Amino acid sequence: MRRATPEKLPTVIASSVVRSSYQGESHGGVYIVDLQTGDAEQVIDWNDKSISWEGRGLDRGLRGIALHQDLVYLASSDEVLVYTKDFERICSIRNKYLAHCHETHVSNSKLYLTSTGFDSVLEYDLASNTFTRGYCLRFGKLAQLHNRLRSRRNEPPRRLPHLYIFDPTLDGGPAPSDTCHLNSVFRRGEVLFVSGTGLGHVLAVDGSGLSSYAHVPYGSHNARPFGEGVLLNDTTRDSVSYLNLYGERIQSFPVKRYDEDALSNAFLPEDHARQSFARGLCVTDDGLIVGGSSPATISVYSLDGVLQTVNLSIDVRNAIHGLEVWPQ
């Protein structure tokens, strides 16, 4: 898996969420970051006063990012905002089964949206501009209790959620619920890979079948197939990790930490905001790994180590969320 380091590091687009912010303050934004030079431009400041204030971090800020042709798709809880590459907003995409959208992914002109509030992934056809399929992955009450107890002991999971495929354009779909906190989706070939903080798996959805592709730590984010295993943000261990399919570490990189005295809002309790919270992940065509963390930090890794780190803010509340390679 080791590759030569490229002569030039990529440019990325990144979204951030400012946790524990107050109404009237900025709740994050979108940045274009040249990782070679460290230069960054904020192209959207998400300070809309219409943002919902229910819950910690649920509706505030922009999250998953997807790029298709000349358009940018930005997740914002219960809708996806569509922008040109010059960041002129042209429309939004909504669905009755879309709530607390986290990560997104584009493959074969299909946009996949994690609908955390419905235990679902929604499929949206970008050619016809219609929702075409929904995948609900949900635990029953007994399985939820079982998984919570096992996650506290950090033991490998044994149960899988039930898979229910539905039509997101019709009534009769799943009721609102969040039993496994789905927050990442990735498609390779005909297989959809899904993960969440309460699963302990990367799940493979192939047609109407569901199986475990890999074991991953509870609490992880952005899990996706990579090399001989999976790549993810091991958020509970403040690291970016490359694991085999059994959850064993092949390579791991500690997330950047700062001197507490250099940070602003470092006094906040960790259940609201903390540094080194690993979130946001993408891979370049030449195999470099780009990961995000708080406070608003983007790091570039090869499998041999850290190549570059760029910091956008010292406010510990400001956490990177979405990351994609920006086309040049």
Joined tokens for residue 259: 């001197």
Joined tokens for residue 2: 């080791």
Q: What confidence score (pLDDT) does residue 59 get?
A: 45
Q: What confidence score (pLDDT) does residue 95 get?
A: 97
Within-domain flag for 1: no
Compute the CA torsion angle 257, 260, 265, 267 (nearest 10 deg): 120
Q: List pLDDT tens digits, range 173-217.
A: 999 999 999 999 999 999 999 999 988 899 999 987 999 999 999
Handedness of CA 256, 318, 184, 141 (dihedral sign): positive
Q: What confidence score (pLDDT) does residue 238 get?
A: 92
Contact 196, 174 (CB under 8 A): no
Domain of residue 247, residue span: 11-325
CA distance linking residue 122 with residue 111, whole number of Å: 8
- DSSP assignment of 167-194: -TTSSS-PPS--SS-EEEEEEETTEEEE
Ranges in the chain, pLDDT < 50: 4, 21, 23-24, 50-59
**Total domains, the chain:** 1
Q: What confidence score (pLDDT) does residue 181 get?
A: 92
Q: Do β-strands 130-138 and 162-166 pair in parallel, antiparallel, or remain unpaired? A: antiparallel
CA distance linking residue 137 with residue 185, whole number of Å: 12
CA distance linking residue 8 with residue 281, whole number of Å: 19
Within-domain flag for 3: no
Backbone angles phi, psi at 121, to 5 degrees: -120, 130
Within-domain flag for 6: no
Within-domain flag for 2: no
Within-domain flag for 139: yes
Within-domain flag for 288: yes
Backbone angles phi, psi at 117, to 5 degrees: -75, -10
Q: What CATH number is given to the structural domain containing 302?
A: 2.120.10.80
Q: What confidence score (pLDDT) does residue 328 get?
A: 79
Phi-psi region of 252 (alpha: psi -120 to 50; beta: other; left: phi over 0): beta
- DSSP assignment of 245-301: TTS-EEEEEEPP---GGG-BSTTS-TTT--TT----EEE-TTS-EEEEETTTEEEEE
Q: What confidence score (pLDDT) does residue 51 get?
A: 43
Question: Residue 47 CA to chain centroid, in angstroms?
Answer: 21
Joined tokens for residue 154: 């950090």
Q: What confidence score (pLDDT) does residue 29 get?
A: 86
CA distance linking residue 324 with residue 13, whole number of Å: 5
Q: List pLDDT tens digits, range 55-100.
A: 334 445 678 999 999 999 999 878 999 999 999 999 999 999 999 9
Within-domain flag for 5: no
Within-domain flag for 247: yes
Q: HSE of 157 in the Cβ direction (CA atoms, 13 Å)?
A: 30
CA distance linking residue 134 with residue 166, whole number of Å: 5
Phi-psi region of 172 (alpha: psi -120 to 50; beta: other; left: phi over 0): left
Q: What confidence score (pLDDT) does residue 56 get?
A: 37
Contact 84, 67 (CB under 8 A): no
